[in-house]
Every structure is written in structure tokens, then in C-alpha cells.
Amino acid sequence: MTYYSMKQINERNPGIEISFLRKLNFNKSTNGTNSVFKKMGGKVLVHEERLLEWIDLQNEKEIYGKINIDDLKTLKYSELDDNFIAKTTDLFHWIEEIISRKVREKLVKKHHPY
């Protein structure tokens, strides 16, 4: 386990701003980052690996939220044959299953990191 200060996280990952880390830490009880931040004395330490996993999980949720399977199923393919429609529907079900499996794996790993 490697913990870093917020400044060190920012130096190691320039895209992650200190203000973003402070906001995450302030709202950690509601945003699921309890395992990311630890307080030692007056200093807040950040577990880098857990932080990056949490960010990845948020990205997966965002991507999954943009895919509306019901809308995709009701698309009209008037110029396409039934075989293509069946394969496309199977593909969407497969994508839905893969994404939900990955989200479940991340949630389990988040609650039981070791």
C-alpha cells in the first residue's frame, strides 16, 4: 500500500488537481472514496491505486449510462435484413453483460481490496 500527499498525487498525475482531491475527500462518505483517503495527524493521505480505480469505475458508469439498450432495440432497420438485426441485438446484449460484469468486479474489489 502506497499513500501519497495530495500534492504528490498531483505531481504524479498532473490531470488530477488538488482541488478535485479536496472535494473528493470532503464528500467521501457519499461518493464512495472512504478507502481512498486516510488522515494521519493533520495530513490527508491518498491511496493512489484506489483513487485511479475509483476514477476508472466512474468512467465505466458514465459510459454505461450513455448506452440505453431499450432505445437500441427499437431502432428501425428498414433497409437491413433480419440477420443483421439479430446479430446487432446479440452484440448489444454482449456489450451490456461485459460492462455490468466489469462494474460488479470493480465494486467487489472496492469493498474487498485484498
pTM for this structure? 0.55
More confident residue, 64 or 54: 54
Given a cut of 50, whether residue 33 has pLDDT beyond it is yes
Instruction: Report which of residues 10 and 108 the model is more confident about.
Output: 10
Q: How far apart are CA 79 and CA 32, in angstroms?
A: 46
Eight-class DSSP state of 40? E
Q: Which residue has the higher pLDDT, 101 or 31?
A: 31
Residue 44 has a pLDDT of 95
C-alpha grid cell for residue 97? 453483460
Helix (H) or strand (E) holding 42: none
Higher per-residue pLDDT: 77 or 98: 98
Per-residue b/e over 84-107, b at no fewer than 16 CB within 10 Å?
eeeeeeeeeeeeeeeeeeeeeebe
